[in-house]
Structure formats: structure tokens, C-alpha cells
């Protein structure tokens, strides 16, 4: 049976830890110039209905390093943009390529694509989740903190796709997560309820300093995600107090690390001083998208 990578809670802790092990191995091989052509002759189709720098480049380079090939397919240049249904795209793509990565709006569309494809489908971000980013984030935590366990994680900002993914990660990996959002911008209630059922330790607050106190990992994301551009002004007002800045870092653990999936809006959700400062690991985090996604692709398509 083919397997997909759509949402972290579809996978077990053991399976995700194996991805970290393979990521470590592939990263070391890449750094040492050792060949690791695990997907020799295979092709990944990459469907994009939203913009991307990291996701596009890391998947494409990752396929190349694994001995395969990647195709960039934007909605504006394919029939998808002219209304060809997902169910047809799924069956056509299954006849040509060995795996699909998709970045789009609705999680339901990605699930439909996966259901109707004969090949593995990877979620490269939806309005609901960004699971590849989460795996890269936790891999970065492991590199900087030796392991991801026994740490307190803090999310400050929007209850968006990244916040939902952190809640899923807290449910699967079992760490403590504190989420501070403005009232009215909480994460998806269904995601929160499912995590609670799974026994996740997640605390929700409207107080960023309370969430950050003593935390070892601080994390944020843009105030307005892709597709919410027209809400930017209104969100700037609502989120004015939800910034990772010197004051927030000062109440966190003195050895804390700061994550941001990027792209960042400096001096909005994070100050330039913090993102450029000694706690920030955002470029290691961006690099790790490559290594972790290679492990995900090799696990699904290899």
C-alpha cells in the first residue's frame, strides 16, 4: 500500500523518528560528498497553487541529489488553473510521475488528490498544515538541543497552518507546547480537540510573555499568511503585542533557540535584532527542509 505525507497525526512516533534518523544519515552523506541515489530514475511532480522559495528549491534540489528529477508545475501554467478537477489530475499524474508534492489552499483537496493517486502524495503546505516544515523544525531542535524531548515549546502569533502543525507535533511527540494568540485568532478548534483526545500537553493563552517564560524553543510566523493579504492592516493591529522581541527572549530560557519557517516580516512578528541574534537558528532550519524532505521522499518513494 502506498503511503502519503499529509498530516503529522497520520504517522506514528516511531515512523517519524525513523525519518529523523534517515535525515541525519542523508545530511551527513551530502556534507561528505557521498552518493546516495535512493531515487535513481524517479520523478517528483510538484504542484504549486501558492508561491514558494524554500519548498520549491529544497524539493527540486533534493530529488536531484537522490538521483531523480523534479517537475515544477504552477497552477497558472497547467490545466489545474483552468479548472481541470483534482480527480483527473490525480489519475493523469499517476501515469507519469512517481510521487507528487502539492502546495495549495484546502487540505481536503490534498486528501482527495492522495485518495485518487496511485503514487505517494506529500503536503507542501495547505491553509491547515505544513508538516514538512514541522519535521525540519524538530530536526533543527534535535541538532541544537541533542533531542526534542523534555523541552518547552512556545508559539507566539497567529493560530495558522504552522500553529496547527505544532499542535499535531505536540500530540505525536509528547512535548509541552504553549500557544499565545490574540483573541479571535486561535488555532483550528478541531485540531485542538483532536490533540486533546490524543493526550497532548498544550496550553492556550493570550499572553505572549506567559507563554515564553522559561521556554527552550520560541517560534513564530507571519501575521497574515498566503491568501490573507487583504487582512494585513487589520491583523497588524490585532497582533501588535504578539512579537518575538528582546523582552520575550529575556523571559525565555537563557539558552533558548528561536525558529521561524520564513519568509519573515522583520519588526512585525519578529524583530530584526532577534532574527539576526545569537538565539536564532532560522537558516539551519531552512537548510534542514532539504535533508528532512529527502528522507520523507526516500521513505515514501524508495
Q: Which residues are annotated as a binding site for L-ornithine?
A: 161, 221, 225-226
The separation between CA 214 and the C-alpha centre of its own chain, rounded to angstroms, equals: 24
Stretch that binds ligand NVA, among 23-31, 41-49, 221-229, 283-291 (CB under 6 A): 221-229
Query: Could you tell me which residues are annotated as the binding site?
Result: 52-55, 79, 103, 130-133, 161, 221, 225-226, 261-262, 289
Contact between 264 and ligand CP by CB under 6 A: the answer reads no
DSSP H helix total and E strand total for the chain: 12, 9
Q: Which does 216 bind (CB under 5 to 8 A by kind): ligand NVA, ligand CP, none?
A: none
Q: Which does 89 bind (CB under 5 to 8 A by kind): ligand NVA, ligand CP, none?
A: none
Contact between 221 and ligand NVA by CB under 6 A: the answer reads yes
Give min distance, CB of 162 to ligand NVA, in A: 5
- Contacting ligand NVA within 231-260 (CB under 6 A): none
Terminal CA-CA length for the chain: 13
Q: Which of residues 9, 23, 52, 140 is near ligand CP by CB under 6 A?
A: 52
Q: Report the C-alpha gap between 157 and 179 in whole angstroms.
A: 8
Question: Active-site residue among 4, 65, 98, 103?
Answer: 103
CB 232 within 8 A of CB 278: no
Give the containing element (helix H, strand E) for 70.
Answer: strand 69-74
Q: Which does 4 bind (CB under 5 to 8 A by kind): ligand NVA, ligand CP, none?
A: none
Which positions from 152 to 191 touch ligand NVA by CB under 6 A, shown as an x/- string?
--------xxx-----------------------------
- Give the closest residue to 60 by CA, choosing from 122, 114, 68: 68
Q: Report the C-alpha gap between 26 and 20 in whole angstroms.
A: 10
Task: Say if strands 99-103 and 121-123 run parallel, antiparallel, or are unpaired.
Answer: parallel
Contact between 226 and ligand NVA by CB under 6 A: the answer reads yes
Q: What is the number of alpha carbons within 13 Å of residue 125 lying toward its C-beta? A: 22
- Contacting ligand NVA within 77-136 (CB under 6 A): 125
Q: Report the C-alpha gap between 49 and 256 in whole angstroms.
A: 35
Q: Report the C-alpha gap between 260 and 283 in whole angstroms.
A: 9
Question: Could you confirm whether 293 is annotated as catalytic?
Answer: no
Contact between 49 and ligand NVA by CB under 6 A: the answer reads no
Give the containing element (helix H, strand E) for 259.
Answer: strand 257-260
Angle between helices 107-116 and 86-96 (to 10 degrees): 50
Question: Could you confirm whether 103 is annotated as catalytic?
Answer: yes
Q: Identify which of residues 110 and 200 has a Cβ nearer to ligand CP in the complex.
A: 110
* Binding positions for ligand CP, rule: CB under 6 A: 52-55, 125, 133, 261-263
Residues of this chain that bind ligand NVA (CB under 6 A): 125, 160-162, 221-222, 225-226, 261
Amino acid at each position: 500500500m502506498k503511503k502519503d505525507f499529509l498530516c503529522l497525526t497520520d504517522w506514528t512516533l516511531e515512523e517519524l523518528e525513523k525519518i529523523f534518523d534517515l535525515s541525519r544519515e542523508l545530511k551527513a552523506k551530502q556534507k561528505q560528498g557521498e552518493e546516495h541515489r535512493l531515487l535513481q530514475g524517479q520523478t517528483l511532480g510538484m504542484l504549486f497553487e501558492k508561491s514558494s522559495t524554500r519548498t520549491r528549491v529544497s524539493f527540486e534540489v533534493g530529488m536531484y541529489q537522490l538521483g531523480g528529477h523534479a517537475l515544477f508545475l504552477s497552477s497558472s501554467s497547467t490545466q489545474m488553473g483552468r479548472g481541470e478537477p483534482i480527480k483527473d489530475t490525480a489519475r493523469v499524474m499517476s501515469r507519469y510521475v512517481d510521487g507528487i508534492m502539492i502546495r495549495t489552499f484546502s487540505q481536503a483537496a490534498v486528501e482527495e488528490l492522495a485518495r485518487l493517486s496511485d503514487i505517494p502524495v506529500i503536503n507542501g503546505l495547505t491553509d491547515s498544515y505544513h508538516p514538512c516544515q514541522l519535521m525540519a523544525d524538530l530536526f533543527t531542535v534535535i541538532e541544537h538541543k541533542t533531542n526534542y524531548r523534555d523541552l518547552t515549546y512556545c508559539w507566539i502569533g497567529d493560530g495558522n497552518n504552522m500553529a496547527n502543525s505544532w499542535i499535531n507535533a505536540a500530540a505525536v511527540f509528547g512535548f509541552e507546547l504553549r500557544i499565545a494568540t490574540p483573541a479571535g485568532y486561535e488555532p483550528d478548534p478541531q485540531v485542538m480537540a483532536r490533540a486533546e483526545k490524543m493526550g497532548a500537553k498544550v496550553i492556550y493563552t493570550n499572553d505572549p510573555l506567559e507563554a515564553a517564560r522559561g521556554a527552550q524553543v520560541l517560534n513564530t510566523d507571519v501575521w497574515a499568511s498566503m491568501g490573507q493579504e487583504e487582512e494585513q492592516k487589520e491583523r497588524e493591529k490585532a497582533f501588535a503585542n504578539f512579537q518575538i522581541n528582546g523582552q520575550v527572549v529575556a523571559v525565555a530560557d537563557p539558552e533558548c533557540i528561536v525558529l521561524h519557517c520564513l519568509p519573515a516580516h522583520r519588526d512585525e512578528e519578529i524583530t530584526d535584532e532577534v532574527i539576526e541574534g545569537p538565539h536564532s537558528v532560522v537558516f539551519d532550519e531552512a537548510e534542514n527542509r532539504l535533508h528532512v524532505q529527502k528522507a520523507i521522499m526516500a521513505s515514501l518513494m524508495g
